[in-house]
Copies of this chain bind each other. A is one copy, B any other.
């Protein structure tokens, strides 16, 4: 519909190799970042890669990773099934791109919660650091409950800790979900709230607790829990982490 801004440079900013944080085009559709004049307004389609990615994200949102079906994405965009192969080598490549978006959105959800506490610069001290840790956890749980399909997609693609710092998976601050957790724990160590010894490997402790609750709530036996109960469980799990660290 609306042709996207697309000098090659700008175009690349919004494709797999370049973006940081959640691609605004996943929700908007107007031209972006007009620092350079677009050399042309459209390709044949306009910007099929991004359109397919957006369709893939919607599929993941509604049905998780298995719902990211290449033919359905092309159908939604109004294009022949094989057109996708101009932009993704195969279905797996599309799924991986969608997964990266999902991870970015997770990081953004965590940043949103953290913003309510303020940055360490704005709001220093031990108690604020603990509050930021709680915000990390609540953001994670909130995203899982509000976007279960994307949450599942974020963890669906083979990939290990080597990606934990991949800027492609980052939120608006340029940090990934893992980095947000990690730097908050660093801060707790710096304020002295956490001994050096206890700091080591603390990521796994916090992450396990919150990830487990998220999984049990959205896919597991706790899936029938109402939002208030889920919220209360989240608060208790997070408080267990605080005490147990």
Contact = CB atoms under 8 A, between A and B. Distances in A.
Interface of A: 155, 158-161, 163-164, 178, 201, 204-205, 207-216, 219-224, 233, 236-237, 239-245
A137 to B, nearest CB: 11
B240 A244 contact: yes
Given A233-B201, A240-B245, A245-B240, A208 B213 contact: yes
Given A211-B212, A212-B212, A164 B205 contact: no
User: Which 9 A/B pairs are nearest by Cβ-Cβ distance?
Assistant: A212-B212, A244-B244, A240-B244, A208-B212, A211-B212, A208-B213, A160-B224, A209-B209, A243-B244
B212 A220 contact: no
A244 B214 CA distance: 18
A160 B221 contact: yes
Contacts of A241: 240, 244
Contacts of A216: 204, 207-208, 211
Contact of A205 (B161, B163, B201, B236): B236
Given A204-B233, A205-B240, A209-B237, 9 more contacts: A155-B215, A159-B221, A160-B224, A161-B222, A204-B237, A205-B237, A208-B213, A208-B216, A211-B215
A210 B211 contact: no
A223 B163 CA distance: 12
18 contacts: A155-B219, A158-B223, A160-B221, A160-B223, A163-B221, A204-B236, A205-B237, A207-B216, A208-B209, A208-B213, A208-B237, A209-B237, A210-B212, A211-B212, A212-B212, A212-B213, A212-B215, A240-B244
